[in-house]
Amino acid sequence: MATNILMPKLGLTMTEGTVESWYKKEGDAVKKGDIVCTISSEKLTHDVEAPEDGILLKIFVEELGQIPCKEPIGCIGELSEKVAEASAPAKEPALTEGQIQREVQVTASPRNKEVERIFITPIARKIAAERGIDYSEITGTGGNGRITRHDVENFVLTVKAASAATNTNAGQGLSGMRKVIAKRMHNSLQQTAQVTLHRKANVSPLMTFRTDMKAKLGDRLSGQLSINTLLARAVVLALKDFPEMNASYANGEHVVHEDIHIGMAVAVDEGLIVPVVKDAANKTLTKLAENITTLISGARSHTLSSDLLTGSTFTISNLGYAGIEYFTPILNTPEIGILGVGAIDRKLAFSGNKEIVEQQELPLSLTFDHQVVDGALAAEFLQCICTYLENPYLLLF
């Protein structure tokens, strides 16, 4: 029996993947566990291992071809075996560069992803043909995601309005993680209404608190009680107070999440990945510290399982190590909020009783999606984060 190599499903949100490159040719012998190809999803790249010993009999999906998760991309067996027709996907021509670009544009589509077939009603097809519209660029809103007459007519309008914006070539000429990032960042800016708020928090008490804690906890602290950990805790507490910010919005679906999963942006050689602190709301400060330390080192050494790289509900991006103060982080869609963290600065300030004191200030930049939350709410949320940072004993509860 020949065994199919399947497009893996990496995380709950992945519906389809792209075969980036094959390391084996048809006819090559492979051992179970050998890496046969690399695939990419919207969020990450992943090496696919051979499920059995044998010969790579057939490659169903060529490089750059896209296919839904759990569909066969190739098959392994003995030389004498015939590749069963049934095991091959119905059809999956390798996509052209043009089609890939288009895919970027329609990622918001709720369309039935049944192996790339586009459903369109007869009248819609006729009108599209009459007006010279390439209907593969239209998002269907009818039953089964089919394109209806209204969709074609509305498309004509939006094309006129957004002709400048539709010039997308995100990811063109790039490969691997770089391409994924290019698509995602471009997509984020296209699909959301991003606004960034800036303010600083007085973290002098926090720094004192941190020094105290480190000294007193000693060996009981297995991770680093870094500024990232304290920030993550402050963000978690603020998200509990403002559940509206722990949400996602994409494909016409607005979901406020119950669980809090914090993404921590980490720069690596190839680009940027965002490991996720799962269920961060139920972790104590020490547990959080341990978790973040492992995640970040895992991210840098590429040893994190794909599950730990997906599913965040809010992201923190820290550029403080490079002396950056304020910046405008881009939303990690479909999340609706991301907190940018800058470098702590020492300033002279007046204390409560008008004495000049040294104050440590942390610049914070909150980007939010104005489609689903307004500036006032986002401002209160940012203020809430500052309150927790400025009153660090609150972080313990």
- Closer residue to another protein, CB minimum distance, 153 or 380: 153
- Rounded Cα distance between 25 and 56, Å, is 7
Whether 135 and 120 have beta carbons less than 8 Å apart is answered as: yes
The residue behind tokens 């002396």 is 323
- Closer residue to another protein, CB minimum distance, 12 or 157: 157
Say which amino acid occupies 353: N
Whether 7 and 18 have beta carbons less than 8 Å apart is answered as: no
- Closer residue to another protein, CB minimum distance, 124 or 395: 124
- Rounded Cα distance between 50 and 54, Å, is 9
- Rounded Cα distance between 138 and 115, Å, is 17
Determine which one of 186, 198, 254, 370 is catalytic.
370
- Smallest separation (angstroms) from another protein to the CB of 125: 8
Helix (H, G, I), strand (E, B) or coil at 358: strand
- Smallest separation (angstroms) from another protein to the CB of 159: 17
- Cα Rg of the chain (Å, integer): 25
Residue 370 annotated to the active site: yes
- Smallest separation (angstroms) from another protein to the CB of 334: 21
- Closer residue to another protein, CB minimum distance, 122 or 352: 122
Q: How many CB atoms lie within 10 A of CB 375?
A: 11
Whether 304 and 298 have beta carbons less than 8 Å apart is answered as: yes
Sequence-ordered list of residues with C-beta below 8 angstroms from that of 257, at least 6 positions apart, any chain: 246, 247, 248, 313
- Smallest separation (angstroms) from another protein to the CB of 278: 36
Dihedral angle of Cα 322, 327, 329, 330, to the nearest 10 degrees: -120
- Rounded Cα distance between 50 and 116, Å, is 26
| Host H or E run for residue 102 | helix 97-105
Determine which one of 47, 212, 259, 374 is catalytic.
374
- Smallest separation (angstroms) from another protein to the CB of 250: 18
- Closer residue to another protein, CB minimum distance, 140 or 337: 140
- Closer residue to another protein, CB minimum distance, 141 or 359: 141
Which residue ranges make up the site for another protein (CB under 8 A)?
A: 121-124, 126, 141-144, 146, 148-150, 154
- Closer residue to another protein, CB minimum distance, 108 or 189: 108
Buried b / exposed e along 215-227 (16+ C-beta atoms within 10 A): eeeeeebebebeb
- Smallest separation (angstroms) from another protein to the CB of 244: 24
- Smallest separation (angstroms) from another protein to the CB of 112: 12
φ, ψ of residue 289 to 5 degrees: the values are -60, -45
- Closer residue to another protein, CB minimum distance, 139 or 365: 139
Sequence-ordered list of residues with C-beta below 8 angstroms from that of 352, at least 6 positions apart, any chain: none
Residue 374 annotated to the active site: yes
The residue behind tokens 């991006």 is 317
- Rounded Cα distance between 298 and 310, Å, is 14
Structure tokens at 278: 């799962």
- Rounded Cα distance between 4 and 14, Å, is 20
Active site residues: 370, 374
